[in-house]
A and B are shown apart, each in its own frame.
Chain A
């Protein structure tokens, strides 16, 4: 079945460092791909999305490119801030019509040191 694999955390970086969180997926068909972020004590928020191959999703300085050839959707940010500390979830949505659900990766906890 469909699945998402993302790098294990926790990831600890210093402020202004470059961030990469790896994500690969397995899916039949052509899934949509997402990154969600969960700040402490809150629900999940959509960070960015891409719906077809070579699409680049971007938001708040974060970017991810839908790579069909490598089945990947890695999250990157050029200069992280303390406020980026959160848990990041890679996810895919596939199927259509009545069978709609999102499959999440296990999450990567990111901590940014001042």
Chain B
């Protein structure tokens, strides 16, 4: 158990819908990262937040957005869903911004878009 929690574990929805994925980092960790894992794209970095502020952006679509709240939990919002958005979404946390610290991954949310 990494200490990072993600809810829900599974999510099934239809095209065009909007969903929210939630992540709680390890106690004391200030940085949260979101990743998408799909069969054809592998593991892709989406976005990073540090203490409530966006710090780095990867291959995140404009239909997707994220935020980190004062209690440090984070939410990833996916809208106008398409079939290709079906994937595993992972959240990770690390104590400080430095890239030399490892990231601790949550168990993931499996999103299925029908």
Contact = CB atoms under 8 A, between A and B. Distances in A.
Interface of A: 32, 34, 36, 42-46, 49, 51, 89, 93-107
A99 B45 contact: no
A97 B50 CA distance: 11
Contact of B99 (A32, A36, A42, A45): A32
A106 B37 CA distance: 10
Contacts of B90: 43-44
Contact of B55 (A34, A42, A94, A99): A99
19 contacts: A36-B105, A43-B4, A43-B90, A43-B106, A44-B92, A46-B104, A51-B100, A93-B100, A95-B99, A97-B97, A98-B97, A99-B55, A100-B48, A100-B56, A100-B98, A101-B33, A101-B48, A101-B99, A104-B42
B80 interface: no
B99 A94 contact: yes
Contacts of B106: 43
A8 B42 CA distance: 12
A46 B107 CA distance: 13
